[in-house]
Amino acid sequence: MNFEQARQNMVENQVRPWDVLDARVLDVLARVRREDFVAPEHRGLAFADVCLPLGHGEVMMKPVLEGRVLQALDLQPEDRVLEIGTGSGFLTACLASLAAQVTSIDMHADFTAAAAQRLQAAGIGNVELVTGEAVHGWQPAGLFDALAVTGAVWQIPPRFLGWLKPGGRLLAVRGESPAQQLVLLTHEGSGRYRETILLETDLPYLAHAEPPRRFVF
Which residue ranges of the chain lie beneath pLDDT 70?
Answer: 215-217
Contact 73, 146 (CB under 8 A): yes
User: What is the predicted pLDDT for the residue at 70?
Assistant: 98
Classify domain 3-201 at the CATH topology level: Rossmann fold (3.40.50)
Quote the CA–CA distance of 73 and 177 in Å, as a whole number.
23
Residue 192: which residues within 8 A CB-CB, separation 6 or more?
A: none
> How far from chain centre, in Å, is Cα 129?
14
> How far from chain centre, in Å, is Cα 206?
12
Across the beta sheet with 127-131, what order do the strands follow? 127-131, 101-106, 80-84, 144-153, 164-174, 180-189, 192-201
Decide: helix, strand or coil at residue 208.
coil
Q: How many CB atoms lie within 10 A of CB 116?
A: 16
- Taking each helix axis from N to C end, the angle separating 23-31 and 63-73, rounded to the nearest 10 degrees, works out to 140
Closest C-alpha to 126, from 77, 172, 164, 84 = 77
Give the number of residues written for the chain: 217
pTM: 0.94
User: What is the predicted pLDDT for the residue at 216?
Assistant: 58
User: What is the predicted pLDDT for the residue at 212?
Assistant: 87
187-196 tens-digit pLDDT: 999 889 999 9
- In the chain, domain spans: 3-201
Q: Phi and psi of 32, rounded to 5°?
A: -75, 130
Q: Phi and psi of 3, rounded to 5°?
A: -65, -35
- Taking each helix axis from N to C end, the angle separating 90-98 and 63-73, rounded to the nearest 10 degrees, works out to 30
